[in-house]
Amino acid sequence: MTPRIAVIGAGVGGAAILEALTRAGIAQPTLFERECASAGATGLSGGLVRVYHTDPFLSDLAVESVPGLRLLDRALPSSIGYVQAGSLYLEAERRVPRMREEIERLRSRWDWPHWDWPLRVLLPDEGKARFPAFEWAGVGAAVYEERAGYASPRQTTKALLSLATSRGAVVAERTPVLEIQTRRGRVSGVRLASSSFAADIVVVAAGAWSRDLLTGLGLAASLRSKRIQYTIFRASGAPRHPAFIDDTTGVYGRPHEPGTSLIGIALDEWDVSLRPTAINPLTSATIHDAAIQRAPWLKGARVAGGVSGFDAYTPDGHALLGFDDQIEGLFLATGCSGGGFKMALGVGQRAAAALTAYVGA
């Protein structure tokens, strides 16, 4: 008998898992979403797409995802909005040896010459010559990814769900899961507002809402909600620039509409409300003051919009990805710590592989 699989959460991670399950031949997996697709962190994401990370676990997940994102954009009738803007990852001098080690590890592990995704280390003089709009003081080196850029997380989620439903998956939006049900140490289904859905496997991909579902089972969930805010700045004479992550200041950004840049910064606001909030003008000012150190064209820029929200973070920044060791049939795919979009297809592939192996066993 084919096991019944319930996926909780219609962010890009849940959508990627659903699509990967149907591609692997799993019949009629069912996804439940408390609101509508992309209603949580996915809908708030800036959509950056890149491979290099300082953490090998994250780099590898990105490698597993990025080719699929580019293929989606090229193969589907409707685009996911992929823009090849390039990406710079700027590191302080003390971290350059570790940067080079990670680049070499990636090239060795993933047979890089045969994959069309150049990774280049730029020293400050090279960086200044190629990207003169940036201020390079305090930078030891940067990783430049020419094929990187950004895409629309909402459009990507929609595309993945469409592919999954075309192969028989079921998507139930505005159907919140109130409780994961168990019997004799294993999952038995999920409780909805007016009914229950029997399931042999339950996949928790509910982002910041995952914590309540897990604590309801008596599990100690190592998840915390964290505030995310980015601001859209409009600057006169703003240059064309790549996406960038500045590890020396915590600032990140990408091009937005003509004459504007999307700029954010790592915030230290934890255990926040999971309700929608307006952007904080003081945070926008903090972002601006930090950003002009690296992006001086933003001096005198005015705020033209922005987003304030939250995501689920883990202590080490690694997604919880695998079967729970206390409750049989419970699979966790949550806590992507602000990087879920660019890693979603890798998460989906790993989840589908683990779930199909479990079903086969």
**192-218 pLDDT, tens digit each:** 999 999 999 999 999 999 999 999 999
Give the amino acid at 286. Answer: T
pLDDT, average across residues 282-289: 97
pTM of the model: 0.96
CB 247 within 8 A of CB 99: no
CB 155 within 8 A of CB 69: no
CA atoms of 192 and 185, how far apart (whole Å)? 20
Residue 73 has pLDDT above 60, yes or no: yes
Q: Residue 265 corresponds to which tokens in the numbers above?
A: 């910064």
* Alpha-carbon radius of gyration of the chain: 21
Q: What residues contact residue 309 under an 8 Å CB cut-off, 6+ apart?
A: 40, 41, 44, 227, 228, 229, 276, 277
How many Å separate Cα 316 from the centre of its chain?
A: 15
Give which of 7, 106, 37 is closest to 355, Cα–Cα: 7
Residue 237 has pLDDT above 90, yes or no: no
Q: Per-residue confidence at 112, pLDDT binned at 50, 70, 90?
A: low
pLDDT, average across residues 332-355: 96
* C-alpha torsion 289→295→299→301, nearest 10: -90
Residue 28 has pLDDT above 90, yes or no: yes
Q: Give percent above pLDDT 70 in the chain.
A: 98
CB atoms within 10 A of CB 220: 8
pLDDT, average across residues 210-238: 94
CA atoms of 318 and 312, how far apart (whole Å)? 11
Residue 75 has pLDDT above 80, yes or no: no
Residue 94 has pLDDT above 90, yes or no: yes
Residues of the chain with CATH 3.50.50.60: 5-44+154-222+316-360
Q: Per-residue confidence at 76, pLDDT binned at 50, 70, 90?
A: confident
At 275 the pLDDT is 85
CA atoms of 265 and 249, how far apart (whole Å)? 8
At 51 the pLDDT is 95
At 1 the pLDDT is 58
- The architecture that CATH gives domain 84-146+224-313 is 2-Layer Sandwich (3.30)
Q: Per-residue confidence at 115, pLDDT binned at 50, 70, 90?
A: low
Helical spans, DSSP H, in 167-237: 210-215
The domain covering 5-44+154-222+316-360 belongs, at the CATH homologous superfamily level, to FAD/NAD(P)-binding domain (3.50.50.60)
pLDDT, average across residues 82-91: 96
DSSP string of 32-101, one letter each residue: E-SSSTT-SHHHH---EE----SSHHHHHHHHHHHHHHHHHHHHSSS----B---EEEEE-GGGHHHHHH
pLDDT, average across residues 262-284: 93
Residues of the chain with CATH 3.30.9.10: 84-146+224-313
pLDDT, average across residues 282-298: 96
Q: Per-residue confidence at 113, pLDDT binned at 50, 70, 90?
A: low
* Torsion region of 138: left, alpha or beta (phi above 0 gives left; psi -120 to 50 gives alpha): left
pLDDT, average across residues 251-275: 94
* Backbone angles phi and psi of 23, in degrees to 5: -65, -30
Lowest mean pLDDT among 10-19, 62-71, 136-145: 62-71
Distances (CA, A) of 256 to 48, 232, 249, 260, 279: 11, 8, 21, 5, 17
How many Å separate Cα 228 from the centre of its chain?
A: 13
Half-sphere exposure of 190 (CA within 13 A, CB side): 26
